[in-house]
Copies of this chain bind each other. A is one copy, B any other.
Amino acid sequence: MDFFDKHKATLDRAVAALHSRVFFANFPEHPAPAVYGETADADGQQKFKDMLGKKFESLQQPNPSGWVGQEESPYLQQPLGISYPTFTVPALIDEAQKAFHAWRKASIETRTGILLESLERVKTRFFEIAYATMHTTGQGYMMAFQASGPHAADRALEAIAAGYEELDRFPSSVLWDKPMGKFNVQLNKEWRAVPKGVSVVIGCSTFPTWNSVTGIYGSLVTGNAVIVKPHPGAILPIAIVVAEIQRVLQEQGYAPATCQLAVDTVDATITKELAEHPAVKLIDFTGNGIFGSYLESLPGKTVFTEKTGVNSVILDSVEDADKVAANLAFSLCLYSGQMCTAPQNFYIPAAGIKTPAGTLSVEDFGKKLAEQINGLVDNPKAGPFVLGAIQNKKTCERVADAAKIPGQVLLASRVFENPQFKQARVATPVLIAVDAAQKDIFGKELFGPIALLIKTKDTDASIALAQEMALHHGAISCGAYTTDPAVKEKIADAMSLAATPVSFNLTGGIYMNQHAAFSDFHVTGGNPAGNASFTNSEYVTRRFTWVGHREPVSK
């Protein structure tokens, strides 16, 4: 049985789920011994430890120009000591171009089978990837496992499924038979889905696999050669993925260079040189808005971006203010606000949030939110693991600066002790009350655990501000709390026009930060937070071109 047949049932379920958008997951998200094996966790941790301080030799990319590595663990605040092979941009492009032609000529089924098999191989390394993710991004263990392992693999499967479906959209050949009155014109026509060429996927430091695998698999399934350029601070998780893809390619007789890893350093980055190379036709990017907009402006490239945004929470009326505060406190604490879907701006009417027990002012609600945050942080069995560590020192500086914002500090950021990692770089959320007039403060992304409670004239003003932020600065998520159906529709409509998905009235174990594969589009592509969406049809169709040839039927 070949790989396509082996995985066909999974593929069919994935394609169906893409349309139905009901719950579907192919990779179990719980790191349970019953699912992954009794020793899977310990084995993965040991394998991770065995990689520390060594050369990463698993890639099939010969003749490196050097070896580099700058990763540091936010938990240990010391280097991982792993080094990766480096290559010049011309060498990377040359290898990609050589690998491209065999790969583009492989059948859709062959490519799809190889890629699905690679995900199964990656699955056997979820625990290694989890520890690699923890010690590069600072994510807590559970998030590191889920986001970099099963959730990323499901997003990759989603991209494969979307690509597979779109590649099959038009017939490979057809007889076109046009009645002309006295005779018919008959043409044999054929259509080819032609990949664009070399694809560069630029990773970020906080979600090194989750944000990259969609572009990698989306480009590969449609027949492009891929160069993966990870963030210098978070290489190992995606290096393991690339190594597994290369292994299956090699086994099946395709060049490992069909998917290359291109490592660089912060002080000698190759990203611009790669992106601007004329042979590079596709670019996927996750990261800051300025660089993303620069990439989008490059002529002759098809560019997919996820940039920055300002995520809002509109608070109008609630059934249970404590449950709401608990839910939002968790959203703020989860990975210390370092998620692109984390809330930042909380809009509260001057007259207060309506509750069954009366109204809650900004200060009242801030107090509840602060209590919930403190409760979570100070719970030693939960807090440190939910908060994780801070990936980048600059985020700590931003949190420190936030204390100087002209407003009322409702909760100061502080440190806490991680029971496993005493040296961890940590920061809890800072809560600051400001006024709706202070757009210079809240009208930009403040990446990290920083929350602003903004007093507005009324809920209409809150909606207008949330919409304005999304339209002008981008937004990837939005939370809203209202018990009034008319207000709910007003919010739903206003945020739709700003291309921002709204999570209404979340309480309990589901958070506005979470976007589920096969159901929630991640980023809509319709506001400045990014021009691409995981995974709509454009996300894959823009990676290839339909070209039709025709010839008269021989008489």
Contacts and interface: CB of A to CB of B under 8 A. Distances in A.
Given A20-B174, A192-B496, A547 B501 contact: yes
Contacts of A501: 547-550
A346 to B, nearest CB: 19
B196 A526 contact: yes
A291 interface: no
Nearest to A548: B501
Given A299-B293, A497-B194, A524-B545, A23 B550 contact: no
A546 interface: yes
A8 interface: no
Contact of A503 (B23, B503, B550): B550
Contacts of A510: 185, 187, 552
A194 B178 CA distance: 38
Contacts of A56: none
Please state the number of chain copies in the assembly.
2
A22 B174 contact: yes
Rank and list the top 9 A-B pairs by shortest CB-CB distance, nearest first.
A526-B545, A504-B551, A23-B178, A499-B545, A502-B549, A194-B496, A496-B547, A501-B548, A524-B545
B519 A551 contact: no
A516 B178 contact: yes
13 contacts: A19-B170, A19-B171, A21-B548, A22-B176, A185-B508, A194-B496, A496-B549, A505-B552, A519-B548, A521-B546, A524-B545, A533-B546, A537-B541
A528 B495 CA distance: 36
Category for how many chain A residues contact B: 35 or more
Given A187-B510, A194-B526, A548 B521 contact: yes
A105 to B, nearest CB: 9
Interface of A: 19-23, 30, 166, 169-171, 174-181, 185, 187, 189, 191-192, 194, 196, 293, 296-297, 299-300, 492, 495-497, 499-510, 516, 519-521, 524-526, 528, 533, 536-538, 541-542, 545-552
Nearest to A509: B185
Contacts of A524: 545-547
Contacts of A179: 23
Contacts of A300: 528
Contacts of A508: 185, 552
Contacts of A507: 552
A495 B547 contact: yes
Nearest to A497: B194
Contacts of A189: 21, 519-520
A300 B305 CA distance: 13
A300 to B, nearest CB: 8
Contacts of A185: 508-510
Nearest to A195: B497
A541 B162 CA distance: 15
B548 A520 contact: yes
Nearest to A173: B21
Contacts of A181: 30
Contacts of A533: 546
A154 to B, nearest CB: 12
B542 A538 contact: yes
